[in-house]
Amino acid sequence: MRRHRGALSDHKDHTMKIQGSTAFVTGANRGLGLAYAQALLDGGARKVYAAARDPATVQLAGVVPVRLDVDDAAQVAAAARDCADVDIVVNNAGITTGTPLLAEDGDAALRKLLDTNLYGVLAVSRAFAPVLARNGGGALVNMLSALSWLSLPQSTVYPVSKAAAWALTNGLRLELRAQGTLVVAVHAGYIDTDMVKAVDAPKSRPGDIARAALAAIEANQTEVLADDTARGVKAGFSATPPAYLG
């Protein structure tokens, strides 16, 4: 396996470095995506593509704004074509809803979330997989949630989309292993962003989550329990009753 700037090295453990890498972050204009872009710059990335539905909303100095709606197949294809030097892809873009599953419009709400949180991740991953392969393997980071593993009374639709995205991530890891791509699943609880600004609960800082994910890339780790909530939920699998049974 050849070296390529920040791509997987030809060392035995194929460790990748953020320093000198070229990264692509979806939903990078605000919140956690903005924190990922900043952490990549702070880590010495050579170039950071900051993707957003409206690239004019990308205000972070030092990044390359890219127009991307992950639900738009043509825009996904164009991004992969135009950003052909990428060796790290961060699937961060996501949406949520307060609609219950059994509400009259619960099925429509679920389809909307799956379009972005599941099929959007798949579309970006599929489009960039050949790019990562050409550039030495690289890393694919999928931003998941502690709610990949359980539901809450006030949040029943969103966890379905994140549980599906977790299974998708595990499948992508298997399919991309042969080309040397590290696939990283990042789980966290509430993060202090606009998405959950109305939630009154402890929240992690976006920068802490982003830095934990980038550290996992450099440590060649496939799963990140990025905060106490994620660690507690995962540990609760072995409880009686397990955490996911509420």
Catalytic positions: 158
CB 93 within 8 A of CB 116: yes
Place of tokens 């800082």: 205
Nearest to 76 by CA among 58, 94, 56, 51: 51
β-partners of residue 67 are: 52
CB 183 within 8 A of CB 176: yes
- The Cα-based distances of 129 to 14, 25, 67, 110 in angstroms read 17, 14, 19, 27
Q: How far apart are CA 86 and CA 141, in angstroms?
A: 13
| CB burial of residue 46 (10 Å; 0-12, 13-18, 19+) | middle
SS3 category, 61: coil
Which DSSP symbol is given to 120? I
